[in-house]
Amino acid sequence: MGLLSTIAGPADLRRLSPQQLLDLAEEIRAYLVDSVSRTGGHLGPNLGVVELTMAIHRVFDSPRDAVVFDTGHQSYVHKLLTGRHDFATLRKEGGISGYPSRAESRHDVVENSHASTSLSWAIGIATGRKLRGETDRHTVAVIGDGALTGGMAWEALNNIAANPDLPLVIVVNDNERSYAPTIGGMADYLASLRATRNYENVLSWGKRVLHKTPIVGARMYDTLHGVKKGIKDIVSPQGMFEDLGLKYLGPIDGHDLPAVENALQLAHDFGGVVLVHVITEKGHGYTPAVADEADRFHAVGVINPETGLPLELSGRSWTDEFSDELLELADQRDDIVALTASMLIPVGLANFARKHPGRVFDVGIAEQHAVTMAAGLSFAGMHPVVAIYATFLNRAFDQLLMDCALHKQGVTFVLDRAGVTGTDGASHNGMWDMALLSIVPGLHLAAPRDGAQIRAALREAVDINDAPSVIRFPKGTVAEPIQAVGAHGSVDILREAESPDLLIVSIGSMADIAGEVAEKLGAQGISAKVVDPRWVLPISEDLLELTSTVAAVAVIEDNLVDSGIGAALGARLRAGGTRTPVWTYGIPKQFLDHGSRSQVLERIGLTPDTIATSLIDCLRD
């Protein structure tokens, strides 16, 4: 690193010459491509915000001024400019997080990587500081155009418009994409702004004046037309934003550093709420990551930096199994439709969308809307399949409960990335879904142990028309098929034992670990039967019958252990007057720092050795 090695914090940016700033931008891009290609991570979004992030840190005084990123996956450049240069540890255990992290830096404000939250954070911070008399501190919210499809962002905009005097700058990073191209009315509106020459003329005028004038702010406007007139001419409300009462500046070429910096300086000096519309290109400066390939480079694994091709060949994924089976079902049944929240490709709906484009609905980053729309589709005679990440179901729990379950609508939820996902950190682990769903009356939940079980569960789920059904599975390469050696009603028996001392209930992808635990117990003279309930909620009578044949039960799950499947099984047994002990092994009630999945499981004790040792102690007490 050349210039970058001299940047320990934002103040160091302000001493650089215009040419040095351009050189630094290119150096940052080269560094991101080189480092992220070695570790994996969110490459495309960060290549697109290099100049924008540099401009923000030259105009605003972080951390005195708060900079909130929505979502945090576009914060790599921010990390570099605030002194974090060791990206060799990016997303690795003990290393730099892939999202903002308060533990890493006082420049990081919001760690949550769930979208559409920044504007609510921003008005909260700005209002709180105003109440404390700190009116000279700015708050900057950097929100992608994709995140503006989320309802929470519009709730915040409505509130912000009623408080126009707050020192709050909203930067809309418009690259026409979230994960994939942004669609919907908001996307169309931003496109119309990009196409309007009037905005370009205003920007051109502003750039000519500002480039000639080293002083930006009140003195410049005194010299030209007077403070009020100058601000009014440059920062003027437009279109929909005018209807909301928001001042609008743009659109600005997000890769023209002087233009972005000048626009942000105008917004800074205005003294109230200003929305700055910045046009960027996802993957900018890295040929493999732009144009038709932009979606593939949103997040990458280890790649060849020259070609952008993966160096690590991945096998068939859990998502692939769901994707193929859903397409087969859709070919057979024209009542099946699919919905997702701006995640068409990662949740496996791309092939379905290509073959049946009128039956797939990408509603944008709006999980709440997706779930209630699905309830409406169900009422109208369709069978909707809502495919989202498990962690994002948290956002739509009320809609699942009150719109789907209360109304007994047949909606199938497919939760990708369930359990420990690892490298994306605390906000992306899908560890709350089973705990939340266990309290929903009438809901059916399946946790497949392998690809064949995903296919079987999906076929069964779309035949449930009087209640919501849920299928959850983890991230990554799908497990090798695990054949049942028998069955007890609806429960698969994975490992048989005569006169077993213990019944091990394996939930979903924990089947391999459960089998290894049984082997280790067997080596110690403890006989264990391993079963897979397949449909884990509601607790089946078949599973309850099996518990009556043993002295103790152990449940192994990759879900919050409090209120998980083990807790539900224990409650059912106690309610029936059974005192058989149920020992539960799952994820503790804490936020889990990033690391590989195996490292996280080791850290929380979800390994065969740890579980077997614990069970031996329990059985001997």
At 313, list the tokens. Answer: 């060949």
Number of helical (H) and strand (E) elements in the chain, helices listed first: 24, 18
CA–CA dist 500, 480 (Å, integer):
26
**Strand ranges (E), 458-510:** 469-472, 486-488, 491-495, 502-506
| 114 marked among binding-site residues | yes
282 is an active site residue: yes
In eight-state DSSP terms, residue 426 is G
HSE (side-chain half, CA atoms, 13 Å) at 390: 30
The verdict on whether 589 is a catalytic residue reads no
CB-based burial label for 245 (10 Å; 0-12, 13-18, 19+): middle
Q: CA-to-CA distance for 426 and 494, rounded, in angstroms?
A: 32
Is residue 104 part of an annotated ligand binding site? no
369 annotated ligand-binding residue: no
Q: Does 42 carry a binding-site annotation?
A: no
Cis peptide before 613 (omega within 30 of 0): no
480 is in an annotated binding site: no
- List the one residue out of 163, 147, 161, 136 whose CA is nearest residue 110: 147
What would you report as the CA-atom Rg of the chain, rounded to the nearest whole angstrom?
Answer: 27
Out of 58, 395, 455, 529, the active site residue is 395
Name the strand (E) or helix (H) holding 446: strand 444-446
The answer to the question of whether 199 is labelled as a binding residue is no
Beta-carbon contacts of residue 49 (< 8 Å; ≥ 6 apart) = 74, 77, 142, 173, 254, 280
To the question of whether residue 146 is assigned a binding role by annotation, the answer is: yes
Contacts of 501 (CB under 8 A, 6+ apart): 526, 527, 528, 550, 551, 552, 619
Strands 412-416 and 383-389: parallel
Q: Which of 58, 129, 282, 455 is catalytic?
A: 282
306 part of the active site: no
What is the C-alpha separation between 595 and 601, in angstroms, rounded? 10
Instruction: Tell me: is residue 175 an annotated ligand-binding position.
Output: yes
Report the relative pairing of strands 412-416 and 469-472 from DSSP bridges: parallel
Catalytic annotation, pick one of 367, 520, 534, 597: 367
Q: Record the tokens describing residue 403, joined without a space.
A: 């719109």
Q: Are strands 486-488 and 491-495 parallel, antiparallel or unpaired?
A: antiparallel
Joined tokens for residue 573: 């047994």
* 367 marked ligand binding residue: yes
Residues annotated in a binding site for Mg(2+): 145, 175
Which residues are annotated as catalytic? 282, 367, 395
Binding residues for thiamine diphosphate: 73, 113-115, 146-147, 175, 286, 367
The binding site comprises 73, 113-115, 145-147, 175, 286, 367
